[in-house]
Structure 1
Amino acid sequence: MTWDKILLIGLIAVLILGPERLPTYAEKLGRFVRNARDYVRNAQERVKTEMGEDFDDVDWRKLDPRQYDPRRIVREALLDDAPPARVGAAAAGKPQSPSGPQEYTPPPPPPRRSVFSLEDPPPHDDEAT
């Protein structure tokens, strides 16, 4: 806030509260600011004591949520990944193993799903919740 805004807020407070009530409200505001400042200072000291020596090593700017940029995070994640390994003869230009090129073996088919009927119902566990 700039000084002209603070001065404007003070002038509005004088007009609304009046000269009789203004000193009591100014005292309450000062007490509130002191209590808030003490609360924040105590919280900082408590965090420092609970974290120990590692507190000074933390780079707080790196943890600032305002620096979060999803596009940058995705871009870095995509650039950091190594390309997937190619199998067998498809891996042109890569050194072959001493035993020669490896053949591609497809994965086994998924297990067949059981078809249940009224005569053959699915298994049931009476103790399950």
Structure 2
Amino acid sequence: MFFGLTIEKVILIAVVGGLLIGPERLPGLAAQLAALVKRVREFGQSAQGRLKEQMGEEFDEVDWKRLDPRQYDPRRIIRDALIEPVLTPGGKTPSEAALAAARRPAAPAAAVSPAGAYDTENGRPSSVDAPAAPGSATAPLPRPDQSS
């Protein structure tokens, strides 16, 4: 049931309540409870009638069982959200788009100026076009095994 109450607990509460109230007041309280239930039903029916009247024909088209909040399980919602693929503007999932980008050939590198060129074979800046003047910042450094 609800609030952790089983049918056995509800029956036990009703029996204890009946004993505490007593046989004199029990019929009057039962009649009050019946009137309360009747008013709640009438209120629900009138609210449904007003809603039908305001919505018109659309009221019959709504699938009310689909909107029942008791059917929503947060675990299922999260699982479905994680399984559902998210598409990028190209129509691919993010992982497919990343794979396609990784497989594309790299764009040719821009030409590097002689000041920024570096000779990995010799471990020193390289002179790409022409040797620079001795003593300048771009002048090739002598190799350690060469004497100057």
CA shift for structure 1 position 3? 7.8
Task: Report sequence identity in percent.
Answer: 38
Greater RCO structure (CA 8 Å; 6+ sep): 1
Sort the Cα spacing of 1:25 and 1:42 in 2 relative to 1 into closer, same or farther, 3 A.
same
Pick the aligned partner of 1:24 from 22, 25, 28: 28
Give the count of matched residue pairs: 90
1:1-129 residue pairs with structure 2 within 5 A?
8-65=12-69, 66-68=71-73, 69-76=77-84, 79=85, 81=87, 82-83=91-92, 84=97, 90=104
Q: What secondary structure, in the 3-state scheme, does the structure 2 residue paired with 1:20 have?
A: coil
**Structure 2: distance between partners of 1:74 and 1:57:** 31
Output the TM-score relative to the length of structure 2: 0.47
CA shift for structure 1 position 25? 0.7
**Structure 2: distance between partners of 1:16 and 1:54:** 51
CA deviation digits over 1:25-57, x for unaligned, max 9? 111101100000101111111111111111111
* Bigger CA radius of gyration: 2
Gaps of 5+ in 1: 92-102, 105-129
Q: Which has the higher helix share?
A: 1
**Structure 1: distance between partners of 2:57 and 2:81:** 30
| RMSD between aligned residues | 3.2
**Structure 2: distance between partners of 1:80 and 1:56:** 34
CA shift for structure 1 position 64? 2.7
Gaps of 5+ in 2: 109-148
CA deviation digits over 1:62-121, x for unaligned, max 9? 223332422213322xx252314967x928xxxxxxxxxxx79xxxxxxxxxxxxxxxxx
Residue identity opposite 2:72 in structure 1: Q
